[in-house]
């Protein structure tokens, strides 16, 4: 009986250690990912501005390409964007920065995204900051 208990305990310890190693692999880059988010935000803000000169257009295209490459790298490493424009407000994924009335839009719909959120391997590392319709 003691032998069976000891074996069961050893098996539980082994499984727990495997889970911890798996989580360390999945979430080990969390700090790195969080540090990259301001870079992503800055690129997105730069892309929102109107461009008037040919040189600026070329620069914007370069920034767009850089943003796409960065997004691909982040996706490969388990970082996914939360961009809930037009979706139902979800307090688990979204942070309401303001609420506005809009009779043309369904209640509790994300009207505007201030700042995108991010998931790392399914775990939220930053909620999307949003404006929500409240009628």
Section 78-88 average pLDDT: 95
CATH 2.30.22.10 fits domain 2-133: yes
Q: Can you read off the two tokens belonging to residue 36?
A: 């990259």
CA torsion through residues 45, 87, 72, 32, sign: positive
CA torsion through residues 71, 77, 79, 81, sign: positive
Cα 1 to Cα 14: distance, rounded to the nearest angstrom? 20
What residues does each domain of the chain span? Answer: 2-133
CB atoms within 10 A of CB 3: 7
Task: Give the pLDDT confidence score for residue 64 in this predicted structure.
Answer: 86
Task: Give the pLDDT confidence score for residue 134 in this predicted structure.
Answer: 95
Specify the range with the lowest mean pLDDT, choosing from 20-24, 83-87, 103-107, 129-133: 20-24
| Tens digit of each residue's pLDDT (9 = 90 or more) over 28-75 | 778 778 878 888 887 887 777 776 777 787 778 888 888 888 888 888
């Amino acid at each position: 009986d003691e032998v069976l208990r000891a074996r069961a305990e050893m098996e539980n310890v082994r499984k727990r250690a495997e889970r911890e190693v798996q989580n360390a692999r999945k979430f080990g880059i969390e700090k790195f990912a969080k540090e990259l988010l301001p870079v992503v935000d800055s690129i997105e803000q730069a892309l929102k501005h109107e461009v008037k000169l040919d040189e600026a257009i070329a620069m914007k295209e370069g920034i767009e390409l850089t943003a796409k490459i960065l997004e691909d790298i982040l996706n490969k490493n388990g970082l996914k964007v939360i961009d809930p424009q037009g979706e139902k407000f979800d307090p688990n994924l979204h942070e309401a920065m303001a609420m506005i009335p809009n009779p043309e839009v369904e209640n509790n719909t994300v009207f505007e995204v201030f700042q995108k959120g991010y998931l790392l391997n399914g775990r939220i590392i930053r909620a999307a900051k949003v404006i929500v319709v409240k009628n």
